[in-house]
Structure 1
């Protein structure tokens, strides 16, 4: 079931083109994280170095969460939304709407951070050989 492609403060601030872009960034972060972990374990990196996997995992989680929520964290921080072609952002002028958008952006960021932290701790705790 397709969600309505219209700006809804704190709910939805991007349309199909922007959603695809966020999903692609999620996949890119996921690939980087996977390659990082394969190298880390294959080369026997010390556990503290494996914590760095949190960076690409955060990017992956942020991308996938933004795509799933149909909501761009960056747009919210700049008071924008976009349901058209890439690069055709429109401004959000109402202060109340901007606050709702910023709260949603904070939620997505916290969720992405939590996911990254869990993956990093698991990577840290896995013993090597």
Structure 2
């Protein structure tokens, strides 16, 4: 019998329009709604560009994938973006197999993503797309 790891979410704000949502634990049918709710809340608060740091995610199923797609749509509707940092191999494979990896930019670190977002925004933390 396996026990799922509880989902732990923490947030940092490296720039005016960017939030990094660090996700640890397992993203499944029980925890995906919490991830989606927190992400949409950050976007509503004016953090149009959201980076999910997934380095500490031990498991992600289709519920997590659906949450990411919903977050991406919500961000794009508000002229923002969703990016992924530190995706473990099992998450990368899920994204690639489903084609979602083509829609959501991913880089190894949050620093690289924040730099890229800042460069596309003209360095001013504006609302440009990733």
Give yes or no for TM over 0.5.
no
Structure showing the higher strand proportion among its residues: 2
Relative contact order, CA 8 A, sep 6+: which one is greater? 1
Give the TM-score taking structure 1 as reference length.
0.29
Larger radius of gyration: 1
Give the TM-score taking structure 2 as reference length.
0.29
